[in-house]
Amino acid sequence: MGDNRQGPVYRSSTTAPVNIAVIKYWGKRDATLNLPTNSSLSVTLSQASLRTHTTASCSAHYAAHEGDSLLLNGSAEPIQHSPRTQACLGQLRSLRSSLEASDPSLPKLSGLPLHIVSTNNFPTAAGLASSAAGFAALVRSIADLYALPQSATELSRIARQGSGSACRSLMGGYVAWRAGSAADGSDSLADEVAPPAHWPQMRALVLVVSAAKKHLPSTAGMQVTVKTSSLFPTRADVVVPRRMQNMEQAIRARDFDAFARLTMQDSNGFHAVCLDSWPPIAYLNDVSRAAVRVVEAINQQSTDAGAGLLAAYTFDAGPNAVVYYLERDTERVAGVFRALLGNERVEGWEGSYGQDIKPAEMEELATLDEKAVETLRAGVSRVICTGVGGGPEKVDSHLVDERGEPVWE
Amino acid sequence: MGDNRQGPVYRSSTTAPVNIAVIKYWGKRDATLNLPTNSSLSVTLSQASLRTHTTASCSAHYAAHEGDSLLLNGSAEPIQHSPRTQACLGQLRSLRSSLEASDPSLPKLSGLPLHIVSTNNFPTAAGLASSAAGFAALVRSIADLYALPQSATELSRIARQGSGSACRSLMGGYVAWRAGSAADGSDSLADEVAPPAHWPQMRALVLVVSAAKKHLPSTAGMQVTVKTSSLFPTRADVVVPRRMQNMEQAIRARDFDAFARLTMQDSNGFHAVCLDSWPPIAYLNDVSRAAVRVVEAINQQSTDAGAGLLAAYTFDAGPNAVVYYLERDTERVAGVFRALLGNERVEGWEGSYGQDIKPAEMEELATLDEKAVETLRAGVSRVICTGVGGGPEKVDSHLVDERGEPVWE
């Protein structure tokens, strides 16, 4: 922390990961508190590939009348008008305030304006849900700045109110968000089902689709589904609770065949209730379906040979495909996509995960549907090669300098 | 009937219509008896556009050792190996046999071989469910040949065992197939919700999609769904019963807005449970979705102006779109498709329904998605212009001559 005339600048920085659900969050039972209609489960992705880097700072030197501020990827965000951000900041301040009350020697940070600076190492245009990593980094960095003693699970209650899926980005590995039943959301919390080291071989290939049009944002889409889909209550009340149990068991047993089947079934079931909504919601496009066909062909080769599933597709509220597979099957899964999409066609094959992906031999490709291959080549703009990773990490690299000014990376 | 050395040739001919469901039949609770998991409701389409013409004949002159025969569109069908056809023939013979037992003056037709000749006035390749019209014509023509006193509803029990949806083609207008609950299927019957004259303005435009690949046949597909879709029981047990009531009410009230919404919702819900099946079943393709987008644009213009829905899409187990609309909206619905698809691009705009469809003005087309228009133009191979029509009709035109020989039309 630095000194100047009006006092020191307190800083704390963190990086936080993206997560991609294998049991989807779709539907709120309380839109203000972001309480979900069903539990969900995700894989935290490595921060080597995708991460948000956030510095939280506070200082008496900051102009009190300007209040809190957030600079996101170089642009000032209007957080005064964001009830979600305000909820997070208010609850974190309140926890700090309690600390300060119990220990008068602590500096009175809760009363100081917060300046937060945040950057993503991936383009927002990639269509990846950056809000999960963003709110996880925001909550984690402020909790560190305030030296809060709360656990990641306790902080997940706060991050959830910023963005539902953010609560799952506070932990690494395989993370469950328990829907809970309390009206105040006190039991709607994330917990780590298994750390990354339990099943470190999990890999993910993200196929970023050059989307022609904007999709219905997920917050709006899920409320349409809750209100209008006649199949939705069965998904939320019956199907997902059973699938959560089976998925946790598959993860505990490192059973990729079961993990893959449940992942694909849940993605299909989620998009089924979207189609069943009124008006119907369609997030998948032709490129998404081409990715499904390639995954089905890869799995067919394996199951024809008496082995289990090798790959699992999953789709969030957009056309991007995420394909999970195990490291040992890198060439048979990611290698097929690399052979199809090549270095010249799309970028993203570099990095610690991508560089190991060797293009599959032509015989692996012989069974692929020609039309699907053509559609995929025309529609995938880049790939992201990654794998299961850890939770937020405290870092020394600050995006706010000692005088309280943003550092332009 | 004609005479020859071994006896007269008895003949009876009928035409029977195609029907397109607005509440879909998907799922059997008994695969042998063709008992459905839920009730369904369809519109019978005019035989001016689509019909099966069938002559049933029997004669002592026919070689007994060759048994019954069916000539369908000029090809001999192996009906000896079709349990479904055998079930229909057996039950019709049994009814005739009872008649003969009660009135000894009747000729003993039940003991004679049946020669049946049938033709469709539409190509099988059009992907229209010809089995419904086919089994309805088969049952109706034999019932007439045998002078059976049973009502169309009573005969629907027999036709259902040939092909589920055939039971709905025994009547005209708006027809419900009640699922029933008896294990022997005795209460799984069709009835006429309203005759064509109740709401004669109903029109249907069929967009025949040049399908690149074979689809999973509906009999196989529906069993995959019943066995694997976790959302399916809700559809069958909860959603469809409610929707049937609402649809019957919409038809009684001639409420097109409600009819259209329910039709589209049920088609979407049916394809949602297909997507939720394992492996997932996809009947809709890009051309189908382009048709959905055009219907949505047509409806948007209307609802933006404070009016109701003008058009309703529905899809069976394949990519063909059927678009329902009312006669008064011909130009605003069918006219849009005619303007897009033109005479040069696709055939089928002739005939009593098609000739009245004037291409819509360009301003109607301005809001259409360019990509959808392009996909539709590339993928629709022909259209069929039709409307609600009557049930099977007894006709004097026979496909078997007086000597028992097939007549080649």
Select the residue of B239, B278, B371 nearest A265 (Cβ to Cβ).
B278
What pLDDT score was predicted for residue A1?
45
Pairwise pLDDT comparison (B130 vs A241), residue with the higher score: A241
Nearest to A59 by CA among A400, A409, A334: A400
Q: Please state the CATH superfamily assignment of the domain spanning residues B202-387 in this structure.
A: GHMP kinase, C-terminal domain (3.30.70.890)
Give me the count of residues in chain B.
409
Inform me whether the C-beta atom of residue A258 falls under 8 Å from chain B C-beta atoms: no
**What spatial distance separates the first Cα and last Cα of chain A, rounded to whole Å?**
19
Distances (CA, A) of A334 to A19, A85, A358: 19, 38, 8
Q: Which amino acid is at B69?
A: S
Dihedrals phi, psi of B186, to nearest 5 degrees: -65, -25
**HEC per residue, B43-95:** EEECCCCCEEEEEEEEECCCCHHHCCEEEECCEEECHHHCHHHHHHHHHHHHH
Residue-averaged pLDDT of chain A: 93
Which residues in chain B have Cβ-Cβ distances shorter than 8 Å to A296?
279
Interatomic CA distance for residues A145 and A57, integer angstroms:
7
Task: Let me know: does B41 contact B174? Beta carbons within 8 Å.
Answer: yes
Are the beta carbons of A231 and B268 separated by less than 8 Å? no
Nearest to A91 by CA among A131, A136, A139, A57: A139
Q: Which amino acid is at A263?
A: T
pLDDT digits (tens, 9 = 90+) for B249-258: 999 999 999 9
Interatomic CA distance for residues A267 and A99, integer angstroms:
43
Which residues in chain A have Cβ-Cβ distances shorter than 8 Å to B286?
286
Residue B298 corresponds to which tokens in the numbers above?
Answer: 């047509």
Residue A272 corresponds to which tokens in the numbers above?
Answer: 């089924």
Interatomic CA distance for residues B292 and B290, integer angstroms:
5
A380-387 sheet: strands from edge to edge:
A311-314, A321-326, A202-209, A380-387
pLDDT digits (tens, 9 = 90+) for B274-327: 999 999 999 999 899 999 999 999 999 999 999 999 999 999 999 999 999 999
Interatomic CA distance for residues A345 and A207, integer angstroms:
13
Residue A28 corresponds to which tokens in the numbers above?
Answer: 């709120």
Task: Let me know: does B320 contact B209? Beta carbons within 8 Å.
Answer: yes
pLDDT digits (tens, 9 = 90+) for A262-309: 999 999 999 999 999 999 999 999 899 999 999 999 999 999 999 999
Q: Please report which confidence band the pLDDT of residue B125 belongs to, taking 50, 70 and 90 as the band edges.
A: low
Are the beta carbons of A235 and B231 separated by less than 8 Å? yes
Torsion sign over Cα B396, B400, B404, B408: positive
Are the beta carbons of B268 and A289 separated by less than 8 Å? no
What pLDDT score was predicted for residue A214?
66
Between helix A256-275 and helix B256-275 the angle, nearest 10°, is: 170
- Residue A164 per-residue DSSP state: G
pLDDT digits (tens, 9 = 90+) for A155-199: 999 999 999 999 999 999 999 999 999 999 999 999 999 999 999
- The distance of A407 to chain B (nearest Cα, Å) reads 44
- Give the position of tokens 């990519």: B319
Residue-averaged pLDDT of chain B: 93
Residue A220 corresponds to which tokens in the numbers above?
Answer: 């709006």
Which residues in chain B have Cβ-Cβ distances shorter than 8 Å to A268?
275-276, 278, 280
Interatomic CA distance for residues B120 and B133, integer angstroms:
9
Interatomic CA distance for residues A269 and A278, integer angstroms:
16
Task: Let me know: does B198 contact B173? Beta carbons within 8 Å.
Answer: yes
Which residues in chain B have Cβ-Cβ distances shorter than 8 Å to A238?
230
Interatomic CA distance for residues B391 and A261, integer angstroms:
46
* Complete DSSP assignment for A305-317: TT----EEEE--S
Q: Which CATH architecture has domain A9-195?
A: 2-Layer Sandwich (3.30)
Max CA distance (Å), chain B: 73
In chain A, list all ranges with CATH 3.30.70.890. Answer: 202-387
Task: Let me know: does A218 contact A24? Beta carbons within 8 Å.
Answer: no
Interatomic CA distance for residues B216 and B222, integer angstroms:
9
What pLDDT score was predicted for residue B54?
98
Residues above pLDDT 90, as percent of chain A: 85
Q: In the predicted model, is pLDDT for residue A120 greater than 50?
A: yes
Nearest to A263 by CA among B278, B228, B226: B278
Inform me whether the C-beta atom of residue B1 falls under 8 Å from chain A C-beta atoms: no
- Mean pLDDT lowest for which of A60-64, B126-130, B353-357? B126-130
Task: Let me know: does B168 contact B151? Beta carbons within 8 Å.
Answer: no
CATH, domain B9-194+391-395, list 3.40.30.10, 2.60.40.10, 3.30.230.10, 3.40.228.10: 3.30.230.10
Distances (CA, A) of A139 to A42, A67, A129, A151, A152: 19, 18, 17, 12, 10
Q: What percentage of chain A's residues is helix, strand, coil (to nearest 5)?
A: 40, 20, 35
Q: In the predicted model, is pLDDT for residue A124 greater than 90?
A: no
Long-range contacts of A106-109 (CB under 8 A, 24+ apart): A106/A147, A107/A10, A109/A10, A109/A58, A109/A145, A109/A146
Which residues in chain B have Cβ-Cβ distances shorter than 8 Å to A214?
none
What pLDDT score was predicted for residue A3?
47
Burial (CB count within 10 angstroms: exposed 0-12, middle 13-18, buried 19+), residue B228: middle
Dihedrals phi, psi of A137, to nearest 5 degrees: -65, -40
What is the three-class DSSP state of B201?
coil
Q: In the predicted model, is pLDDT for residue A325 greater than 80?
A: yes
- Residue B9 per-residue DSSP state: E
Inform me whether the C-beta atom of residue B296 falls under 8 Å from chain A C-beta atoms: yes
Interatomic CA distance for residues B20 and B389, integer angstroms:
12
What pLDDT score was predicted for residue B124?
64
In chain A, list all ranges with CATH 3.30.230.10. Answer: 9-195
Residue B324 corresponds to which tokens in the numbers above?
Answer: 């329902």
What is the three-class DSSP state of A209?
strand
What pLDDT score was predicted for residue A220?
92
What is the pLDDT averaged over residues A305-314?
A: 96
Are the beta carbons of B212 and A278 separated by less than 8 Å? no
Pairwise pLDDT comparison (B161 vs A347), residue with the higher score: B161
What is the pLDDT averaged over residues B111-133?
A: 84
CA B251 from centroid of its chain's CA atoms: 18
Inform me whether the C-beta atom of residue A224 falls under 8 Å from chain B C-beta atoms: no
Task: Let me know: does A386 contact A353? Beta carbons within 8 Å.
Answer: yes
Inform me whether the C-beta atom of residue B273 falls under 8 Å from chain A C-beta atoms: yes
Residues above pLDDT 90, as percent of chain B: 85
Which residues in chain A have Cβ-Cβ distances shorter than 8 Å to B261?
278
Residues 349-378 of B with CB under 8 A from A: 371
Interface test with B, best of A23, A275, A313 (most B CBs within 10 A): A275
Which value does ipTM take for this structure? Answer: 0.90
Interatomic CA distance for residues A340 and B15, integer angstroms:
53
Which residues in chain B have Cβ-Cβ distances shorter than 8 Å to A273?
231, 272
Which residues in chain A have Cβ-Cβ distances shorter than 8 Å to B236?
none
- The distance of B240 to chain A (nearest Cα, Å) reads 10
Interatomic CA distance for residues A292 and A312, integer angstroms:
9
The neighbour count for residue A138, using CB atoms within 10 Å, is 30
What pLDDT score was predicted for residue A408?
75
Which residues in chain B have Cβ-Cβ distances shorter than 8 Å to A286?
286
Inform me whether the C-beta atom of residue B24 falls under 8 Å from chain A C-beta atoms: no
Interface test with B, best of A268, A289, A293, A303 (most B CBs within 10 A): A268
Task: Let me know: does B400 contact B390? Beta carbons within 8 Å.
Answer: no
Q: In the predicted model, is pLDDT for residue B5 greater than 80?
A: no
Torsion sign over Cα A369, A372, A377, A381: negative
Are the beta carbons of B272 and A268 separated by less than 8 Å? no
- The distance of B222 to chain A (nearest Cα, Å) reads 16
pLDDT digits (tens, 9 = 90+) for A231-258: 999 999 999 999 999 999 999 999 999 9
Which residues in chain B have Cβ-Cβ distances shorter than 8 Å to A279?
296
B174-177 sheet: strands from edge to edge:
B19-23, B40-44, B174-177, B190-194
Select the residue of A233, A234, A275 nearest B275 (Cβ to Cβ).
A275
What pLDDT score was predicted for residue B126?
58
